[in-house]
Amino acid sequence: MEINVLVFGQITDITGKGSLKFTDIKSTGELNQLLLKTYPLLGSVKYLMAVNKRIIHENTILMNEDTIALLPPFSGG
């Protein structure tokens, strides 16, 4: 199974690109762990996670071809 991760805002500074792909990830918790392992700097920033365009606040089971978005806070006006 494969999932797509879309990265927004200043988080792309850490990941280096706006879109990532992962395989065999079962939940958002597992995804977070893998992201932190791959990009340790993510540990110091806040971001929202959306699964298929729905913001989640709890660990969520992932399915094949799910799209996960990482949205950071902006303050500029």
Q: Which long-range contacts (CB under 8 A, 24 or more apart) does 55-61 make?
A: 56/28, 59/27, 59/28, 59/29, 60/27, 60/28, 61/26, 61/27
Options 21-29, 30-38, 65-73: segment touching other proteins (CB under 8 A) = 65-73
16 binds other proteins (CB under 8 A): no
Nearer to other proteins, 24 or 56 (CB): 56
Instruction: Write down the least CB distance from residue 28 to other proteins, Å.
Output: 14
The strand pair at 67-71 and 2-7 is best described as: parallel
Instruction: Write down the least CB distance from residue 40 to other proteins, Å.
Output: 14
